[in-house]
Amino acid sequence: MSEVIDRPGKFVSKAPYLVKNRACATGPNDPLAVTVPDQSSTQTPPTTSLAMPFHHSSSRRSREAVKVEIPEEKEIEEDDDGFDPSLLPLPTDATKSATQAIWRELRVIMKEQSNSSSYAGFQVDASKLRSVYQWVVHLKDFDPKLPLAKDMRDRGVKSVDLEVRFSGEFPHVPPYIRVIRPRMLRFLHGGGGHVTAGGSICIDLLTLGNAKDRGWSSIYRMDAVLLQIKLALSSTEPRPARLDPHAWNSDYTAHEGMNAFIRVANDHGWRVPPGFRDMFSK
């Protein structure tokens, strides 16, 4: 079902950690690839929702794959879905182009998650939206065979909660994504799932990459990125994600997540957007 892409490094695993998933692969150097266990016996989301946003060939471009280029003068069309992101406050570093791009991504996800047929196992929590630049996302319904799913059942944990933060340069720079709760078992103690010791998700697609690893691209759609994060947490290579048996109910802090993200990215030589270092300075 899968084949390992040899990208050695110090990450958390100190071993090749990216695995090509044939359902979402777009090329031999595609960074958006992790391994997941065989889920043939369980219900899985449609593969098209993951694959479409990551077509890189111009001859295969679709509405999902068009690069996000939003004219300054174009306004967001309001739908009658009861959700109006324009009512939410904006951070001081907000830009019109980034705000419009994030609004569009948020609208797509809000509509998708209201449709049970397109449910992909994650949910943006509208009740916790304080700004379109900061989301809380719940990852749910992991493959029940996964050790992570078993740990969650045993402790009554309903979801893995993520914080997603955007900068005023989005979509030209990636969002920053970290786990809020539950606390995961560190790799040094037998954990995995591409979560750093501080709870941040540190894979090259969430950085600006380097000469070897492509990193972020502005064509990536947030619904597919979130699904990819769930696949990363579901990866069993080199080790499966597990809850910390002693501190699983202790939230990660914003500062420890960012510090770990920068440390791991530097270990790989991945470029971090300069603004990330100041994201939690206040």
Reading the block at residue 254, the tokens are 């914003």
Q: Note the pLDDT tens digit of each residue in 96-136.
A: 999 999 999 999 999 888 887 667 899 999 999 989 999 99
pLDDT of residue 120: 80
Give strand pairing partners of 243.
184
CB 228 within 8 A of CB 19: no
Torsion on CA atoms 146, 149, 154, 155, rounded to nearest 10? 140
Q: Note the pLDDT tens digit of each residue in 54-99.
A: 333 333 333 333 333 433 433 444 444 556 666 778 888 899 999 9
The end-to-end CA distance of the chain, in Å, is 45
User: What is the Cα–Cα distance from 273 to 173, expressed in whole angstroms?
Assistant: 7
Residue with tokens 């606390």: 183
Reading the block at residue 152, the tokens are 């969650």
Q: Note the pLDDT tens digit of each residue in 174-185.
A: 999 999 999 999
Comparing C-alpha atoms, which of 69, 130, 110, 94 is closest to residue 223?
A: 110
CA 57, chain centre distance (Å): 23
**Integer angstrom CA distances of residue 7 from 29, 146, 214:** 10, 24, 12
pLDDT of residue 114: 83
Q: Is 122 helix (H, G, I), strand (E, B) or coil?
A: strand
Q: Can you list the domains of the chain with their CATH numbers?
A: 2-278 (3.10.110.10)
Reading the block at residue 89, the tokens are 């406050």
pLDDT of residue 262: 94
CB atoms within 10 A of CB 127: 5
pLDDT of residue 113: 86
User: What is the Cα–Cα distance from 248 to 64, expressed in whole angstroms?
Assistant: 37
pLDDT of residue 279: 80
DSSP string, 220-253: --HHHHHHHHHHHHH--SSS---B-TTTTTSPPP
Look up the pTM and report it: 0.71
User: What is the Cα–Cα distance from 114 to 209, expressed in whole angstroms?
Assistant: 34
Which of 103-117, 143-157, 226-240 is predicted with the least confidence, judged by mean pLDDT?
Answer: 103-117
